[in-house]
Amino acid sequence: MSISTAIQTAIDALIRPFEGYHRRLSDGGCAAYPDPATKADPWTIGYGTTGPSITPSTQWTHDQALAALRAEATQKAMGVLKLSPMLATEPDRRIAALISFTYNCGLRNYRISTLRRRVNQRDWPEAAREIMKWNKAAGRVMAGLTRRRAAEAVFLN
């Protein structure tokens, strides 16, 4: 297992393709946009970055968006390994799937999930089934989340 490889795999294969780079400005930077499911909070910028400092008027350069993506993916990787230390002996692709999942759904949701229990049991077929259940936002099934979860499920198996 190489955590740096897992992080880069998560970014390149799962996070960037599914998050996209949004509200691109003419200079290549980006502007904040409302959550697609709620049409309001949380405000998001770049590659899916949210937080209290992101407001409707926030604008970043592309370099700022990339730095935030990398920092958040690294933070999620450390959190996933803390919650599921047995992943240290698993293939990078499995860690990448869970980095992507937590980037999108949060470490708290992972911590309390049946998905985490299945991961910690190394029950990969059941973990893949569990991750597919996380395809809703604001109570509605979202096609993009269904596609993302399917891609993460492939990485878990």
* 11-67 pLDDT tens trace: 999 999 999 999 999 999 999 999 877 888 899 999 999 999 999 999 999 999 999
Question: Which DSSP state fits 157?
Answer: -
R_g over Cα of the chain: 15
What is the total count of domains within the chain?
A: 1
pLDDT in tens, 94-152: 999 999 999 999 999 999 999 999 999 999 999 999 999 999 988 999 999 999 999 99
What's the domain range around 75?
Answer: 3-156
CATH code, domain with 104: 1.10.530.40
Own/partner pairs, 77-83, CB within 8 angstroms, 24+ separation: 77/3, 77/6, 77/7, 77/10, 79/107, 79/110, 80/107, 80/110, 81/3, 83/107, 83/110, 83/111, 83/116
